């Protein structure tokens, strides 16, 4: 079941869900807005192909980690960057989350996740966003902007993610 505003607030009060920093104003009828952090991973173009296989490594070897100020990051048309949310989410073993873009930005051509919108139960991390500019124009990403929302659901039974990204803090 998807958690409504009241259930989200109850989950926060009981500790089944933690959001830090938390702004109650970001809680909507059935989701919580998450803000864009200031850390990004810029993918570097390469003439060498990147092998996509089960042995593939995280793109640290073909990207640069940067932090930006209040003027933001200029995202060129068709460019992909990895960004993070300002908020760190901690989910109990009975909650999962789904990251969704916000329609106001989607209508500008901005996608905030390519394909990995699912947040596993037991996660304790900032959310890494696969941000793509699908617009024919450049877009400027401003840290602190409520760029996406997360929808929470309860699991049937308990489960806990123990993978490599469980406590990830950087893109």
Catalytic residues: 130
125: number of Cβ within 10 Å: 20
Query: The tokens 């996660």 sit on which residue?
Result: 123
Provide CB contacts within 8 A for 46, sequence distance 6+. 62
Answer yes or no: are the C-beta atoms of 41 and 64 closer than 8 Å: yes
Interatomic CA distance for residues 124 and 92, integer angstroms: 9
Interatomic CA distance for residues 88 and 12, integer angstroms: 13
């Amino acid at each position: 079941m998807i958690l409504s505003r009241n259930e989200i607030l109850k989950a926060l009060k009981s500790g089944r869900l933690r959001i830090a920093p938390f702004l109650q104003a970001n809680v909507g009828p059935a989701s919580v807005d998450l803000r864009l952090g200031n850390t990004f991973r810029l993918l570097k173009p390469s003439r060498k192909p990147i092998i996509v296989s089960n042995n593939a490594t995280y793109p640290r070897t073909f990207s640069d980690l940067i932090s930006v100020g209040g003027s933001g990051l200029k995202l060129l048309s068709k460019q992909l960057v990895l960004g993070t949310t300002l908020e760190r989410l901690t989910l109990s073993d009975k909650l999962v989350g789904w990251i969704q873009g916000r329609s106001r930005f989607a209508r500008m051509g901005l996608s905030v996740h390519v394909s990995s919108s699912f947040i596993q139960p037991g996660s304790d991390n900032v959310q890494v966003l696969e941000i793509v500019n699908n617009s024919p124009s450049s877009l400027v990403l401003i840290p602190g902007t409520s760029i996406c929302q997360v929808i929470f659901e309860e699991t049937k039974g308990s489960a806990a993610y123990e993978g490599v990204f469980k406590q990830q803090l950087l893109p």
